[in-house]
Amino acid sequence: MTSQLRAILTILLIAAAISSTLLTAAEAARRLPEGQHYGRARSLIMAWVAQLTQGQSPRGPGH
């Protein structure tokens, strides 16, 4: 490979990495409407509590 081709490929790779990072960051920065924060947190906690109410794991090898 020539040095010019290597430089062009490096620049394209860096540009692709930066653009994917920016697009991902924009997706994560979206805010939920005010009413959805409580509902999502409540459903998550209810799922955790549902797992806890099933009791202890059965005793067996490795316990």
- The reply to whether 62 falls in a domain is no
pLDDT in tens, 4-27: 999 999 999 999 888 877 666 555
Mean pLDDT lowest among 3-7, 32-36, 49-53? 32-36
Query: Alpha-carbon torsion 9, 14, 18, 21, what sign?
Result: positive
Total structural domains within the chain: 1
- The reply to whether 25 falls in a domain is yes
Name the DSSP class of 2: -
DSSP per-residue string spanning 6-63: HHHHHHHHHHHHHHHHHHHHHHHTPPPPHHHHHHHHHHHHHHHHHHHTT-PPPP-TT-
Q: Which structural domain range is residue 34 located in?
A: 1-54
User: What's residue 34's pLDDT?
Assistant: 66
DSSP per-residue string spanning 38-51: HHHHHHHHHHHHHH
- The reply to whether 50 falls in a domain is yes
